[in-house]
Amino acid sequence: MITDTIKRFVGQLFGQRANGGLQRTGKELHGIDRRNVSRHAIKVCEVLHQHGYQAYIVGGAVRDLIVGLEPKDFDVATNATPEQIKPLFRRSRIIGRRFQLVHVVFGPEIIETSTFRAPASQEQETDDHGRILRDNEFGTHEQDAVRRDFTINALYYDPSTEEVLDFHRGVEDLKKRVVRMIGDPRTRYREDPVRMLRAVRFAVKLNGTIDPGSREPIGSMADLIHNVPASRLFDEMLKLLTCGHAMDCLHQLRQDGLHRGLLPLLDVVLEQPGGEEFIELALERTDHRVRAGKTVSPSFLFAALLWHQVNLRCKQLIAKGEQGMQALMAAADSVLDEQTETLAIQKRFSADMREIWFMQPRFERRLPKSIWRMIEQPRFRAAVDFLQLRAAAGEFDSVLAQWWMDLANAEDAERATMIDDLARQPREGTAGAARARPRRRRRGPERTGGESSGSESESGTTASGG
């Protein structure tokens, strides 16, 4: 009698077992509120159901909803093939080569819809290290659960019944905050080395641990990360840095030996005086924005991570006789060239990073004519935010940094007043106040207070700040 009671309790806690290991967990146990699920993801499932297909919300969205986090996006898994899915939705497109799937577009939201996959087989195309190059072998629902990486990601939410389907006790692992690989960890890491990075990210994000059997091979297999395409590494690194626990993730990556090849200059920066403080400030502010539900600019984030090295090389070049702005440009080029050998930072991001960096010396000398030109730059606000970071790290005057922030937050009329007031003050040099400026009233942004000296070049200033 007691044994039967215990069995019933366990069954209620983790769902009734059926279909050779499948567990169905009801709403009262998994705790997902359907109102927190994307209505577009529900719509995709409903349309596929109406046409006779299976369809479930799957993976990270289900994981996050169960632990009370807000998912960044929603994915759907189905037994319909991409060619069967696409005609059912007016705005959809088939994408992917290694992993073909369908993007169903609802305004700004994209519901990534994939077909159930079969586990890796000997017929699948791999590289010399065992990494799968093509993964378009379709399979059953059970097979799809087997080929997913971790038990906590092999969860399927049915919005029609509000049940979670679980083949690998993922709900149980999720309640315990344990990240556990499905299958043999060594084989799965060879198939896709990025799974080692994902294991770290999930464990930190959930404030949990990696199952000992899943963690043990990581140290000896970390070098496999070098075989991953640079573009995919960039995407995974960006997810890691914007998960809301970036600094914890970086410390864990270093502890497990996974940092090499991701940000080659990061170890150098963290070992230099002031380097770790600057990066911690940047990542703390990034984490705060993520947790507050605000967007994070990849350009700003990577500009902050690499700034210390850019600034150091700039100073070294200036010491050798290079002019300030030319030294900064050369330093930026060399750091980005080294970084993009293993981490493919997209050109649009690297261009924004350069703009943010190149504006920093211009903040040191407040020339009215130059200020109006700076305000017109697309990355002006990002550069001012970056300046606040430098001030917090003690490498720029905090009072001057606040003036620039006030200017960035002001309306046009207030900006004109602030710059007019500045023109009446003693003229600033690179080291502080110098001779007085003529008092001349300007009426708007098109009028400048600079005489012949107002067009003086700023290329001689350094990137080191005040």
Q: Which residues are catalytic?
A: 73, 75, 149
**Strands, DSSP E only, in 159-265?**
163-166, 178-179, 209-210
Pair 73, 62: CB distance under 8 Å: no
Which of helix, strand or coil describes residue 320?
coil
Q: Across the chain, how many H-helices and E-strands are there?
A: 22, 13
**DSSP state string for 367-397:** -HHHHHHHHTSTTHHHHHHHHHHHHHTTSS-
**DSSP state string for 27-91:** HHHH---GGGS-HHHHHHHHHHHHTT--EEEETHHHHHHHHTPPPS--EEEESS-HHHHGGGSSS
Best CA proximity match to 348, nearest among 379, 305, 383: 379
Pair 339, 263: CB distance under 8 Å: yes
Q: Measured between alpha carbons, how far is 205 from 242 in angstroms, rounded to an integer? A: 10
State the burial class of residue 9 (Cβ atoms within 10 Å of its Cβ: 0-12, 13-18, 19+): exposed
Pair 42, 72: CB distance under 8 Å: no
